[in-house]
Amino acid sequence: MNELKVLYISGEESEQQIKMRADRLKMMNDHFYLLTETSVQTIFQEIKKLKPQLVIVDSIQTLQSNLIDSSAGSVSQIRECAAEFQRFAKDTNTPVFLIGHITKDGSIAGPKILEHMVDTVLQFEGDRHYAYRILRTLKNRFGSTSELGIYEMTGDGMRVVSNPSEILITQREEQLSGSAIAATLEGMRPLLIEVQALVTQSVYGTPQRTVSGFDLRRLQLLLAVLEKRGGFLFGAKDVFLNIAGGLKVEDPSIDLAVICALLSSYEDAPLPLHVCFAGEVGLNGEIRAVNRVEQRIAEAEKLGFEKIIISRYSKKSFDAKAYKIQVIALSQVHEVYQQLF
């Protein structure tokens, strides 16, 4: 990257603002060129002179083409500007990064057509209150969309997190109730994350259901399974659920860890420290198999866990003797309860 001739086009900030950030990040590079311009025609005149090997546009919503009689950021302007950069990239075989704004719900601001025109869509996800960011692939014409990267925001810029599981699991000096470790997958990467639950007696007429990083409707479904199939009276309890680290998890394999965290808080009995879980929970209380269970087991073993509880139906797809970690295969939620409590 340091050897490439890079042209950074900024329509958002001035040269002085970018220079201040470059000094903070210690980005002193003779091959890095900066252009503060919003006119597409002027930009391409400079590109012809410089002949960069990589072009970065920040942001596509600020650019304006003379061929379209409308303001910057409009549907027609974004479409025309993106099309001109697309033609340039295809004709000269030069990579072009178009940085775009996103809305509060995470979708690309403006026309959806921008997402259709480009070859790859990458999105940074994260909460401003947390230091970690996930770079997720939403579209990729060159490969899989299952890959992702995890980074930490520091004063010197973004730092790659090589082993995120160690960060996402809280270092606990004592056993506390309501905490369970889930072996999940984010894209192609196995992650061990901590699920925290708090179950208290409701003081209002309607019990509260509060979640962070998990689907509220999924939590209500799991509570209904525990009440119907296990006889646990959650109807008079307030339930709070949190995914540690600020992540938002959609992998259904986290269900079993959520169930165990809820039961641990309900019974006020801590779970063993070196046990983790990977399994989807069905409406009949059955523990369903999840995909790529071998990767989950290998990740748990690497981090020093002694036991992992999975679905009995997953055990057919791998050899448990190949791992040092003890693999416990169960088929029903009540079997997990008997095993742990």
Token pair for 171: 């270092």
Topology annotation, domain 6-118: Rossmann fold (3.40.50)
| pLDDT above 90 for 146 | no
* Percentage of the chain exceeding pLDDT 70: 94
In the chain, list all ranges with CATH 3.40.50.300: 6-118
E strand or H helix that includes residue 263: helix 255-267
User: Which CATH architecture best describes the domain 167-340?
Assistant: 2-Layer Sandwich (3.30)
Q: Poorest-confidence range of 24-28, 35-39, 138-142, 251-255?
A: 24-28
Instruction: Count each helix (H run) and each strand (E run) in the chain, helices first.
Output: 9, 17
Evaluate whether 280 touches 331 at the Cβ level (below 8 Å).
Answer: no
Q: Residue 236 and residue 210: Cα distance in Å, rounded?
A: 15
- Output the DSSP codes for 284-308: TSBEE--S-HHHHHHHHHHTT-SEE
Q: What is the pLDDT of residues 151-169, one digit of tens each?
A: 888 877 888 887 777 777 7
pLDDT of residue 244: 85
pLDDT band at 304 (very low <50, low <70, confident <90, very high): confident
Residue 207 CB neighbour total at 10 angstroms: 17
Q: Residue 269 and residue 248: Cα distance in Å, rounded?
A: 26
Q: Return mean pLDDT, the chain.
A: 88
Question: Which DSSP state fits 175?
Answer: -
| pLDDT above 80 for 31 | yes
In the chain, list all ranges with CATH 3.30.230.10: 167-340
Q: What is the pLDDT of residues 124-142, one digit of tens each?
A: 877 665 677 888 888 899 9
Q: Annotate 63-115 with three-state secondary structure.
A: CECCCCCCCCCCHHHHHHHHHHHHHHHHHHCCCEEEECCECCCCCECCCCHHH
Residue 60 CB neighbour total at 10 angstroms: 24
pLDDT band at 104 (very low <50, low <70, confident <90, very high): low
Strand-strand pairing, 326-330 and 307-311: parallel
pLDDT of residue 161: 81
pTM: 0.68
Single out the residue of 335, 253, 257 nearest to residue 296, CA to CA: 253
List C-alpha distances in Å: 287 to 55, 283, 328: 50, 10, 12
More confident residue, 321 or 340: 340
